Each structure stands twice: as C-alpha cells, then as structure tokens.
Chains A and B, each alone.
Chain A
Amino acid sequence: QAVLTQPSSLSASPGASASLTCTLRSGINVGTYRIYWYQQKPGSPPQYLLRYKSDSDKQQGSGVPSRFSGSKDASANAGILLISGLQSEDEADYYCMIWHSSAYVFGTGTKVTVL
C-alpha cells in the first residue's frame, strides 16, 4: 500500500469547487504531518502551491491565488486541497507530499480536468 494515495483523476466544471484528497496509509496519522501540494502542467516542472498542517501552521506559496487552500479530514486520515472557482488554467496534475521516515514521499497524483 502506498504511503500517500490520491485519486487518479477528477473532472469539474468551470466555476465549481474541486476537492482533491491525499490519503495517508493506515498507521500514519495525518494530524502529525505537514502536507505539501504541487501543481504540474504538461511540459513544465511542478510548482509549489501550499502547505497545511493546521490553521495555525500553514503557508501559501508565493503568488498562489487564495482560491487554493488546504485542510485535513481526520476521520478519513487525509489531506485536502480545495480549489474554488475552477478555471481552465487549473487543468493540471496535482501532487501531495509529506516528510516521513527521513524521506520526502510524494502522492500518486491527481489529474484535474476542467470540462
């Protein structure tokens, strides 16, 4: 079982909200981790969006719009990236990441399509 699991794809309409999940493997408690989020468009390197551990420990990437926000669902043991007011330019792959056992671990990635 992967350390971080993300749905492979998600589709949503322009203007809608999209909630991307990053589920931590059983036995790894989401509450203890900073979750980092990245956006990657075809042919370009990933770009840092934000990190989220709690409402008092969070950071928005430089120049990243506030419609990108982070949260957690403790009951699902998951980190969440919420994209509000989806735009066509948000169509991309999204990855989560944590620091776990002396290594950075990336999620499997979610491809977001804006219909």
Chain B
Amino acid sequence: EVQLVESGGGLVQPGGSLRLSCAASGFTFSSYSMNWVRQAPGEGLEWVSYISSGSSTIYYADSVKGRFTISRDNAKNLMYLQMNSLRAEDTAVYYCTREASDYWGQGTLVTVSS
C-alpha cells in the first residue's frame, strides 16, 4: 500500500524557516517524481514544487522561487521542503504527492504568524 506521511509543520514567525519531510513507503520511491502541493485555509490547491526521481530536474512555483528548496534522499525514502523567509501567505496545509499526484499524504499544517 502506498503511504506518504508528512511531518515538520507548525507555527513560525514571519521571516522564519521550517523544514518539512515526507516519508514514503509501499512503492519504489527512487523511481518516481514527487511534488509538494499546498492548500491555504478555505482555498483551492496550489502546486509548490517538483523533483524528478533522481533529483536532476527541479521546478518551483513563482510564489516560492528563491525561498523554498526541494530535495530528496532515495536511500531513506524521504523528500524534504526547506522553507525560508516565510510569509503569512505561506500559511497552508502542505501535501506530499507522487508523480502527477496519484497519491497524497494527509498533509502537515504550516502557520506563519507573529
């Protein structure tokens, strides 16, 4: 069974940093591209970042470019999202998804507030 489990969310002040993790199981992690997708409270879905299976190709949404960094460790079946210079508008549930989002984790809430 495919499982994606996010962790690392929490309350952080504007300008602060946070690192999210996604633990994958139930499939050959190293063979799949992965994404982070977020959803602000009461809002729709917003794609954040993409990383290819071998980390050679990485893309970011314009809204996070230069502030967020995606990475992965295929030996540990883990994906990360390093978030710096956080803003109030980054407040959202962050989901880890596989490929074209055929599987989703339960999400982790990031709240940026003073």
Contacts and interface: CB of A to CB of B under 8 A. Distances in A.
Given A47-B104, A61-B102, A97-B100, A104 B50 contact: yes
A51 interface: yes
Given A102-B59, A103-B61, A104-B35, A48 B102 contact: yes
Interface of B: 35, 37, 44-47, 50, 59, 61, 95, 100-107
A38 interface: yes
B45 A109 contact: yes
Q: Chain A contact residues (Cβ within 8 angstroms of B): what range?
A: 20 to 34
25 contacts: A36-B101, A38-B101, A40-B45, A45-B95, A45-B104, A46-B95, A46-B101, A47-B104, A48-B104, A95-B44, A95-B45, A97-B47, A97-B100, A104-B35, A104-B47, A104-B50, A104-B100, A104-B101, A105-B47, A106-B45, A106-B46, A106-B47, A107-B44, A108-B44, A109-B44
Given A36-B100, A40-B45, 11 more contacts: A45-B106, A46-B101, A47-B104, A48-B103, A61-B102, A97-B47, A97-B101, A103-B59, A104-B47, A107-B44, A109-B44
A36 B104 CA distance: 14
Contacts of A97: 45, 47, 100-101
Contacts of A51: 100
Interface of A: 34, 36, 38, 40, 45-48, 51, 61, 95, 97, 99, 102-109
B100 A99 contact: yes
A47 B37 CA distance: 13
Chain B interface mostly: strand
Chain A interface, DSSP helix/strand/loop, else mixed: strand
Contacts of A40: 45
Contacts of A45: 95, 104-107
Contacts of A99: 100
Contacts of B59: 102-103
A53 B18 CA distance: 38
